[in-house]
Amino acid sequence: MARKGAQSSEVRAQLVEAANQLIREHGCHAVTAGRLAERVGLKRQIVHYYFGTIDELFVAVLQQEGEKARARFVQALDADQPLRTCWEQANNASAHLLEFMAIAMHSESVKRELTRYADEFRDIQTEALRRYLERRGVAPSVPPVVTALIMASISQAFALEEALGISKGHAETLDYIEEVLSAFEATGKSFATAQS
Amino acid sequence: MARKGAQSSEVRAQLVEAANQLIREHGCHAVTAGRLAERVGLKRQIVHYYFGTIDELFVAVLQQEGEKARARFVQALDADQPLRTCWEQANNASAHLLEFMAIAMHSESVKRELTRYADEFRDIQTEALRRYLERRGVAPSVPPVVTALIMASISQAFALEEALGISKGHAETLDYIEEVLSAFEATGKSFATAQS
DNA sequence: TTGCAGTTTTAACGAGTGATATACGAGGTA
DNA sequence: TACCTCGTATATCACTCGTTAAAACTGCAA
């Protein structure tokens, strides 16, 4: 590897943005040096000048989007219904997140970064739910981290299945989730079992 | 495309098996004509003689594994604890299923086949849960299809996160799932909300 | 033996990848 | 003015991949 482009370069920022758009519009497999260069009006080698490898570019995109998402999320969680916020934000992010997971499957550097964000977001959600219940003086019917994980799981499965055109049971589950959210807002209970 | 190899060919079956193993061992991205041919001791163009495109090979693998899985599943569901069976079978299949989903993301033919199986499996699960509750004379606390979808979602999320090395909240959620299964076996209730 | 059907290999194309070496231009400096 | 350096951009190489077309090999039957 020879020299590398400056972090502050305009072209560099354009490449990150182009990669981000390509991921959103056509999925991660659409991100190639050729297509990226096309979008910024240069030759494909420019990508390697600024990022060395495509993986490093992905890491840059993930960091940028991760920070943006966290800012939005932390702000939204301060509103009064944290579980509803978790559900809504998960629905917004799941499709995009899945693309990064697909990349992470065969890229150690992206995997490291994504794992970091995943743990962080789950902590943020768990803590928000815990504080909410504490404020209301309700003991958690289920560990908050479980509630957060299940919400994220369902949202992710929806994103995956919608992308593939599977929709059996989705409408019923959406109704159910709405029930869970209402119940949580009324009583603080989320996925309580008959035993607990 | 010229002529195509016979369905009954030995080499053809070897290629399907090689693809299946490659998916299990190294994920769908590891399936290339070169690696497949290496495993059967021939040149890489042999793949196209038998399958035309790699996608067609994936469809063949999916059909073979799908039929096997369905046979196992239908048999297991006849045992007396259908929800536990759903959970266990989902845990066995999720990692493999995710690979096929990744393929389906950019292959229409695989997508069609996978969607068909997904709908079918969800129907089988839903019907098994419905019959179980009916047998026990319990009204569903939640539509059976919702219970099936949530179980599948959590299992899938686990598979995805484990593949990436994310584990926050997994232990707590496994405990919770065990509670849900016990409660279902005792009372027929799964994810009942405070409202219902 | 000849010929044919099924099978396999050779050859080639286009698109993708990472990496290295080189060309270009602006700025400062001797 | 001539030189040098640094940031930027391009050219080119070597490789893998999927795919297609055509040639070569196989065994069997007429």
Distance, in Å, from the CA atom of B138 to the CA atom of B144, rounded to the nearest integer, reads 12
Q: CA of A12 vs C1' of C26, distance in Å?
A: 20
Q: Average pLDDT, stretch A20-31?
A: 90
Protein-proximal positions, strand D, CB < 7 A: 7-12, 16-22
CB A104 within 8 A of CB A111: yes
Q: CA of A109 vs C1' of C25, distance in Å?
A: 35
Q: Average pLDDT, stretch B18-23?
A: 96
Q: Which of B32, B174, B176 to mutate to test the interface with A (most CBs of A within 10 A)?
A: B176
pLDDT at residue A8 is higher than 80: no
Protein-proximal positions, strand C, CB < 7 A: 6-12, 15-22
For residue B137, the surrounding DSSP H or E stretch is none
Q: Which of A14-28, B82-96, B113-127, B172-186 is the least confident region?
A: A14-28
Token digits for A30?
């659409």
Q: Which residue's alpha carbon is at the shortest distance from the C1' of D9?
A: A46
DSSP strands (E only) in chain B: none
Distance, in Å, from the CA atom of A148 to the CA atom of A42, rounded to the nearest integer, reads 44
pLDDT at residue B162 is higher than 90: yes
Q: What is the pLDDT of residue A193?
A: 66
- Pinpoint the alpha helices (H) of chain A: 10-26, 33-40, 45-51, 54-77, 82-104, 108-136, 144-164, 170-187
Backbone angles phi, psi at A107, to 5 degrees: -150, 110
Per-residue confidence band for A111, with pLDDT thresholds at 50, 70 and 90: very high
Backbone angles phi, psi at B166, to 5 degrees: -95, 130
A27 CB neighbour count, 10 Å cutoff: 17
A33 touches strand C (CB under 7 A): yes
Q: In angstroms, how far apart are the furthest CA atoms of chain B?
A: 63
Per-residue confidence band for B196, with pLDDT thresholds at 50, 70 and 90: very low
A106 touches strand C (CB under 7 A): no
CB B139 within 8 A of CB B75: no
Query: Inter-chain contact A118–B163, Cβ cutoff 8 Å?
Result: no
Q: What is the pLDDT of residue B4?
A: 75
Query: Inter-chain contact A105–B29, Cβ cutoff 8 Å?
Result: yes
Looking at every residue in chain A, the average pLDDT score rounds to 90
DSSP code, position A53: S
Query: Inter-chain contact B172–A143, Cβ cutoff 8 Å?
Result: yes
Q: Is pTM beyond 0.85 here?
A: yes
Q: What is the pLDDT of residue A1?
A: 40
Q: What is the pLDDT of residue A52?
A: 87
Query: Inter-chain contact A160–B156, Cβ cutoff 8 Å?
Result: yes
Q: What is the pLDDT of residues B23-42, one digit of tens each?
A: 999 999 999 999 999 999 99
pLDDT at residue A36 is higher than 70: yes
CB A46 within 8 A of CB A40: yes
CB B40 within 8 A of CB B9: no
Q: Which of A14-23, A73-82, A166-175 is the least confident region?
A: A73-82
Closest CA to B133 of B195, B190, B76: B190
Q: What is the pLDDT of residues B109-134, one digit of tens each?
A: 999 999 999 999 999 999 999 999 99
Query: Inter-chain contact A168–B105, Cβ cutoff 8 Å?
Result: no
Distance, in Å, from the CA atom of A177 to the CA atom of A167, rounded to the nearest integer, reads 16
All residues of chain A having their beta carbon less than 8 Å from the beta carbon of residue B154 are: 149-150, 153
Distance, in Å, from the CA atom of B163 to the CA atom of B8, rounded to the nearest integer, reads 36
CB A20 within 8 A of CB A40: no
CB A47 within 8 A of CB A57: yes
